[in-house]
């Protein structure tokens, strides 16, 4: 790089090319190449075989079956005896091609299809007529397509109060969507709908769908509304 800059500087000052070659101890061809190139020469090492290559096929087989398998376990399965950090780097390079895409990240909703339901607990206790001061749940229902949001404070999270709350909010909306989605709330059902919830859905010709466990991403729409209620709506009231 230094010779490249020096050659171009000397020739630019009028020094003959062959003299520049003699003074710098380089070949005349090096001088000529420096003048025709608009950037300094760089050395690029061509990729060659690595110790990981012979293990790659077996690593890919394991990732195809178990995309989340830790690199340390994969190393043990394939008999890797080299640098563990180097092995981890290569596994990290291969893993994205086998990691399953979570469909919750790419959900789209049709008009009238879904209302997302959840309970939000305001960070303030409410005084009751009998003198008790308790935390009261708020039923939040969000139309997935329009993001229209409804909310109603309930006396409890028992089944009868949840169903009555949904009925009140649906009456205000004036419509019933094809599905009402809940996140395994005990009063609605965990794994299976309660009998009352199933009868409620049947009476309205809709379906109550329970989210799969350990998949909080599917609640994103209503969780963002809960956050709005807590951070923007509630303070100062």
Q: What is the CATH number of the domain that holds 134?
A: 3.30.420.10
Are 92 and 159 in the same domain? no
Are 179 and 125 in the same domain? yes
pTM (whole model) above 0.75: no
Domain hosting residue 70, numbered range: 53-97
Are 23 and 85 in the same domain? no
3-state secondary structure of 54: helix
Total domains in the chain come to 3
225 domain-assigned? yes
29 domain-assigned? yes
Are 191 and 144 in the same domain? yes
46 domain-assigned? no
Are 167 and 59 in the same domain? no
Highest mean pLDDT among 6-15, 45-54, 191-200, 223-232: 191-200
Averaged pLDDT for residues 176-189? 91
Are 113 and 226 in the same domain? yes
Contact 118, 223 (CB under 8 A): yes
Are 131 and 185 in the same domain? yes
Averaged pLDDT for residues 148-164? 93
**pLDDT range class, residue 44, cuts 50, 70, 90:** low
DSSP string over the chain:
-HHHHHHHHHHHTT--HHHHHHHHT--HHHHHHHHH-SS-----PPP---TTHHHHHHHHHHHHH-TT--HHHHHHHHT--S-HHHHHHHHHHHGGGTSPP-GGGG----TTTEEEEEEE--SS-EE-TTS-EE---EEEEEETTT--EEEEE-S-SSHHHHHHHHHHHHHHHT---SEEEE---TTTBSSSB-HHHHHHHHHTT-EEEEPPTT-GGGGHHHHHHHHHIIIIISTT-
224 domain-assigned? yes
Are 172 and 62 in the same domain? no
Residue 204 burial (10 A CB sphere; 0-12, 13-18, 19+): middle
Closest CA to 155 of 137, 173, 180: 137
62 domain-assigned? yes
Torsion, Cα 216 220 223 224, to 10 degrees, reads 150
Are 159 and 190 in the same domain? yes
Contact 56, 94 (CB under 8 A): yes
Look over the chain and give the mean of its residue pLDDT values, rounded to a whole number.
Answer: 84
Give per-residue pLDDT as tens, 93-104.
999 888 765 554
Are 117 and 228 in the same domain? yes
Which among 97, 128, 150 is the end of a domain? 97
92 DSSP β-pair partners: none
Are 80 and 24 in the same domain? no
173 or 44: which carries more pLDDT confidence? 173
24 domain-assigned? yes
**pLDDT range class, residue 1, cuts 50, 70, 90:** very low
Are 145 and 202 in the same domain? yes
Contact 155, 174 (CB under 8 A): no
Contact 209, 182 (CB under 8 A): yes
């Amino acid at each position: 790089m230094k010779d490249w800059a020096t050659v171009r500087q000397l020739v630019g000052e009028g020094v003959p090319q062959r003299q520049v070659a003699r003074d710098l101890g380089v070949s005349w061809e090096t001088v000529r190449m420096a003048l025709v190139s608009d950037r300094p020469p760089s050395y690029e090492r061509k990729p060659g075989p690595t110790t990981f290559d012979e293990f790659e096929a077996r690593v890919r087989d394991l990732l195809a079956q178990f995309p989340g398998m830790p690199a340390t376990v994969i190393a043990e399965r394939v008999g890797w005896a080299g640098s563990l950090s180097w092995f981890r780097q290569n596994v990290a390079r291969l893993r994205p091609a086998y990691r399953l895409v979570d469909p919750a990240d790419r959900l789209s909703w049709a008009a009238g299809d879904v209302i997302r339901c959840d309970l939000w607990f305001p960070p303030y206790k409410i005084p009751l007529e009998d003198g008790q001061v308790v935390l009261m749940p708020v039923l939040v229902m969000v139309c997935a397509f329009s993001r229209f949001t409804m909310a109603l404070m309930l006396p409890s999270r028992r089944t009868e109060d949840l169903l009555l709350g949904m009925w009140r909010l649906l009456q205000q909306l004036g419509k019933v969507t094809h599905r009402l989605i809940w996140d395994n709330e005990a009063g609605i059902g965990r794994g299976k709908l309660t009998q009352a919830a199933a009868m409620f859905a049947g009476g309205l010709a809709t379906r109550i769908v329970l989210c799969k466990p350990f998949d909080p991403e599917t609640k994103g729409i209503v969780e963002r509304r809960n956050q709005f209620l807590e951070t923007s709506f509630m303070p100062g009231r």
